[in-house]
Structure 1
């Protein structure tokens, strides 16, 4: 089941909805829900490592 890497919100299915953000960090896919993506959009667009968020 896909879950948000920041707030652990569940996607409700094996795949994340198209409104969620996906990144590859250390070789694994990490999904960020729409709410968290909006909160951290500047860091995401700047491609800052999630440790900086």
Structure 2
């Protein structure tokens, strides 16, 4: 039996983690096709459908952090 680095033992596949909206804190257990994903300073940030719609102009108009 082999173990994966950092896991210590072979406990099987990892449980899927719930998505949490970075703006309002809404939680979703399953992948949501209407949510958006952005990567800011190497950190993945999810936004729920409501926050995505409410902030679409800011999301689309904001350049990637490496441009600053």
TM bin (shorter chain): 0.7 to 0.9
Higher relative contact order (Cα pairs below 8 Å, separated by 6+ residues): 1
Deviation at 1:48, TM superposition (A): 5.6
Report the counterpart of residue 39 of structure 1 in structure 2.
54
Misfit runs of 4+, over 6 Å: none
Of structures 1 and 2, the larger Rg is shown by: 2
| Structure holding more helix per residue | 1
Gaps in structure 1 of 5+ consecutive residues: none
Aligned residues: 47
- The CA RMSD over aligned residues, in Å, is 1.6
Question: TM-score, with normalisation over the residues of structure 1?
Answer: 0.77
Question: TM-score, with normalisation over the residues of structure 2?
Answer: 0.62
